[in-house]
Structure 1
Amino acid sequence: MYAVIKTGGKQYKVAAGEKIKVEQIAADVGQDIVIDQVLALGAGDSLTVGTPLVAGATVTAKVVSHGKHDKVRIFKMRRRKHYQKHGGHRQQYTELEIGAISA
């Protein structure tokens, strides 16, 4: 069984036992969280699509860790103008381990 969930403005296809990295969630390491924004549920050939959410469906997940992704380098330059600007960004994430998917 798999589910399509929405968290942090993004959508993820998850199944029980998987680990995913999502936008940072304010939760402690080891804490169980419930994600109730389930957009679709699937098992084998059957697929249930919500309008926009599947009623009563939840996904439970355990917070494994918090961290930062690799740095994204930003470089701006205007040719012949002696202008260069350097920057960078490291996005924070929360790693979740998917537990049960309930319809």
Structure 2
Amino acid sequence: MFAVIRTGGKQLKVTANDIIRVEKLVGASGDAVEFSEVLMMGEESSVKVGTPLVPKARVCGTILDQIRDDKVLIFKKKRRHNYRRKNGHRQYLTVVRITDVLAEGQSPAKAAAPKAKTKPEAKAKEVPVVKAAPKKTATKAKKPSPKSSKK
């Protein structure tokens, strides 16, 4: 099943397990995200077009990464006027893996939670505690008394 969604001012055709790059979305890596603006959805045999949106349809995904796009250079020039301006811009993007395309009344398939592997804890070897030797106090050497000279 595919869907056409609208996000960040762009329209994207997505299916399950697609990896897409969209305008920056709020969230950290691993967070779930849901796109509710579904413009069209369908399968090989039938297509449902929204007016303007398909009611109660949604697309679920998981945020994989927050990245920045390649630099876009902006160069302005007016000939014969010695006017040149160079500027650059890097857009913030979010990489999303589409997990489900859900039509009206469908619920997301529960992903099997990965079983936490429990390792048998290794017993820590007992390390003998070494006490620090007491600090030696340095005795100051006595200065020789000044010799008085009688003349």
User: Aligning the two structures, in what range does the TM-score lie when normalised by the shorter sequence?
Assistant: over 0.9
Q: Which residue of 2 aligns with 1:25?
A: 25
Q: Once superposed, what is the RMSD of the aligned Cα atoms?
A: 0.7
Q: Write out aligned runs for 1:43-54 (5 A).
A: 43-54=43-54
Give structure 2 stretches of 5+ with no counterpart. 104-151
Unaligned 5+ segments in structure 1 are none
3-state SS of paired residue (1:44):
coil
- Provide TM-score, normalisation by structure 2: 0.67
With structure 1 as the length reference, what TM-score do the two structures score?
A: 0.97
Counterpart CA distance in 2 for 1:53 and 1:80 is 52
Q: Name the % identity.
A: 43
Work out the CA distance in 1 between the residues paired with 2:53 and 2:6: 10
The amino acid of 1:18's aligned partner reads D
Greater RCO structure (CA 8 Å; 6+ sep): 1
Q: Matches of 1:80 and 1:93 in 2, distance apart? A: 39
2:139 aligns to what?
A: none
Runs of 4+ in 1 over 6 A off after TM superposition: none
Partner of 2:109: none
Matches of 1:29 and 1:66 in 2, distance apart? 7
Which structure 2 residues correspond to residues 33-72 of structure 1 after superposition, within 5 A? Answer: 33-72=33-72
Structure with higher Rg: it is 2
Instruction: Say which structure is richer in strand.
Output: 1
